[in-house]
Amino acid sequence: MGLEAGSKPELLAVLALAKPGSLVVCNGYKDAEYIRIALIGRRMGLDVVIVIEKPSELDHVMRESAALGMTPLLGVRMRLATLGAGKWQNTGGDKAKFGLTPRQLLDLLARLRAAGLGAALQLLHFHMGSQLSNLRDIASGMREAGQYLVQLAQQGVNLRWIDVGGGLGVDYEGTRSRSYCSIN
């Protein structure tokens, strides 16, 4: 169990309250300062994981970690093909704005290994969408993510954590239906 920080103010607040050994997952926009703060959290004894959500972020993380002489803990946001039905379904699926495709993940693994950072990848994150209205969609996404977990393990990646984003909807209408403002 851990906390997620999607911005610099959130990250600073979490680091101020976290106890040694706590898990902190860093998602969202990552500039050099955010990455540096996350790495300082590692130096404080926290398991601060920087989630790579697009390929270009790896360059920034590698540059900042080299400048501080540290090995980062990394996660990767996988872009699942499974699409959950719901009002914000387009935050998930293979056309989602964030997350790596299988090809991009293989490229990322190759870059990490070439830099001697293969063991730094320790978390798999995926996001199916928010306000999902059907449990079957979540089950399908979990099955797909499970396939990626197996394939990563076969590639020698030893993940410690799985971070599942998004979730079931809130029944704002009270109808227990599949509408965007309800749940089933």
Q: What is the pLDDT of residues 10-39, one digit of tens each?
A: 999 999 999 988 999 999 999 999 999 999
Q: What is the pLDDT of residues 113-132, one digit of tens each?
A: 999 999 999 999 998 777 77
User: What is the pLDDT, as a whole number, of residue 85?
Assistant: 55
The torsion of the CA quartet 29, 30, 33, 36, rounded to 10 degrees, works out to 140
- 57 φ, ψ to 5°? -65, -30
Q: Domains in the chain, start-ordered, CATH in brackets?
A: 2-165 (3.20.20.10)
Model's pTM, two decimal places? 0.86
